[in-house]
Amino acid sequence: MCQNLTLKIHSKLDTDRPIIDTLTYVNQHTDYNSIILEIQNLSKTLNSTGYLDHKITDFKKSNDSLFEAYLTLNKNYSYIYIRYTDIHYQLLKSLGIESNNKFITLPLQETKQSLNALNLKLAEQGLPFTTLQLQNITIKNDSVHADLISSKKTIQRHIDHIIIKGYEKFPKKFIKQYARLKTGDVFNMEDIKKKTNTLNKLSFANLIRDTEVLFTKDSTTLYIYVEKQKSNNFDGYLGFTTNDNTNKLEFSGYLNMLLQNNLNYGESIKLLYRSDENNQKTFNINLDAPYIFKSPIGANVELNIFKKDSSFTTVNQSLKLYYQFKTEHTTYLGITSSQSNNLLKENLSTVIDDYNSNFFQSKYNFTHTDEDNNLFPIKSYADVNLGFGDRTYQTTKENQIQYNIDLSNIFYLNTKNSLYSRIAVSGLKSDTYLENELLRFGGINSIRGFEENSLVASLYGVFNLEYRLQLSPTIFINSITDFSYFENQMINQKEKLIALGVGFAILTKAGLLKMNYANGKTENSPFNISDSKVHLSITSYF
């Protein structure tokens, strides 16, 4: 039968009353054993706060439901002096523990916390089975003394074997180079968890359970459980507008395909074909091979072919080597060469000419992903590219500088509301310019509300701002506010642009479907609804 029993603790001395009144303990209990356990817990609490000489006396049952006891606190000790032998002095110093070559000095109330921190530090140094215990606790000359006894083994644990389970063909080089985990490392479970969790940032694989460890007498084996993910994707969009001259509907669009890790090496192949309203065609292929020859160096090769109606073609080729010094940070060094040909039968234009150019390029990339968000998988992005080289046409050779900056971030206001912002700047610095070497922008990936690649510049900057409202885990709507400034040094043109609009996206079984409606204008012209652009795109994984 359940009883309602009460425990009351009284002070034996009047001087102890203010302190005892501040003690917290459970005074309502269902049975006698619960009361005894509460008195024992109270005694442990008093010991940890320095009242080592306290006494609980005259414990008695006053009536059927009331138990009483009297407490005498006696002296409060502030510090404990702990003798140690097999703990390195520098290790104690790194934890901020006051010590000399023989004794550790600790505030009594911090003893448990400090010893737990010391135990964790020993585990991080490859000694996971270490236990620390205070023995021979005595009071001498009004101070507390104790001996620190350690079960620490002298031989550190190291990682001897790493075994992948689930995705047996997982490229092992990503364990060593991407997660920075390798055999021979000192065993540190917290560090192992942190490093293996970075595998979730890979697009082609993710962890399916926590890493497990098998300890034997003379070896330590890690079991990492991963599964292969669908990482190939197909991305495309369809744009349409009304031609001002013919009043006919014109279409544009692109096909963008990423093939990733199909050979189980972590490699990727990107294919792009774009056809714009202005009779411009772009073909691009990009090959990426990470950690070549099991080294930390990766290689990226790219070919880009651009054709402007019957005016000219430009072929760009690049080779870059890169090093990923942290999971989200990568640096590149490489070379880029370009060759452009004038296709006009009668060269009436003095601004289009054959040329060749060569650049040495350096690049930095930062990508912070949110693997749990299928609608907005990239939280922050930064890409900075700088190139120095020269361009030769006819008998003229000129030094040139290329630069590209692309920065974006999502600011989360709460779980449903966010702001997306992006700044993109590109420029070509030269003494003279040819039309077929100028930068082209405009459209869904720069300033919306304008035809794809319809704007020509020697320098341009674009600012994109979107307010996004996530209606569900698979649907969001967004505003479109785009600003741009560009210069064309060939014709001394300086222009400001603005575009406004709305959009939405829905995550379906087929992929992520997006639609944007935007209207753009120049600084000194009004908005014209007939100039509006509608862009549809879908990204599908397979």
Beta bridge partners of 472: 475
- Cα separation, 421 vs 308, in Å, equals 31
The two structure tokens encoding residue 397: 């050779």
pLDDT tens digits, one per residue of 460-490: 999 999 999 999 989 999 999 999 999 999 9
- Which pLDDT value is given to residue 207? 93
The more confidently predicted of residues 440 and 148 is 440
DSSP letter for 260, please. E
The percentage of residues in the chain with a pLDDT greater than 90, rounded to a whole number, is 45
Among 421, 436, 214, which Cα is nearest to 310's? 436
Per-residue pLDDT of 334-350, as tens digits, reads 999 999 998 886 655 56
CATH architecture for segment(s) 233-541:
Beta Barrel (2.40)
d(CA 315, CA 284): 10
Phi-psi region of 261 (alpha: psi -120 to 50; beta: other; left: phi over 0): left
Overall fold of domain 5-72 = Ubiquitin-like (UB roll) (3.10.20)
Distance set, CA 65 to CA 10, 71, 410, 413 (Å):
17, 20, 62, 55
- What's the whole-number mean pLDDT along residues 122-150? 79
Output the pLDDT for position 492. Answer: 92
Which of 437, 385, 371, 378 minimizes the C-alpha distance to 408?
378
Positive or negative, the CA dihedral 309, 312, 315, 316 is negative
Separation between Cα atoms, residue 61 and residue 141, nearest integer Å: 38
pLDDT at 1 over 60: no
Give the number of other CB atoms < 10 A from CB of residue 396: 11
pLDDT tens for each residue of 244-291: 666 666 666 678 899 999 999 999 999 998 887 677 889 999 999 999
Q: What is the CATH number of domain 161-228?
A: 3.10.20.310
The answer to whether residue 75 scores a pLDDT higher than 80 is yes
Mean pLDDT of 294-307: 94
What residues contact residue 368 under an 8 Å CB cut-off, 6+ apart? 328, 378, 379, 380, 381
**How does pLDDT run across 403-457, given as a tens digit for each residue?**
999 999 999 999 899 999 999 999 999 999 999 999 999 988 899 988 888 899 9
pLDDT at 10 over 60: yes
Which of 102-116, 275-289, 369-383 shows the lowest per-residue confidence on average (mean pLDDT)?
102-116
Average pLDDT over the chain reads 87
User: What is residue 350's predicted lDDT score, i.e. its pLDDT?
Assistant: 63
How do residues 120-133 score in pLDDT, each as one tens digit?
A: 777 777 777 777 87
The domain ranges of the chain are 5-72, 79-150, 161-228, 233-541
Share of residues in the chain with pLDDT > 70 (%)? 94
Instruction: Supply the pLDDT for residue 235.
Output: 81
- The predicted structure's pLDDT at residue 298: 96
Output the CA torsion 270→275→277→279 (10° steps): 130
Say if 5-72 and 161-228 have the same CATH topology: yes
For residue 59, the SS3 value is: strand
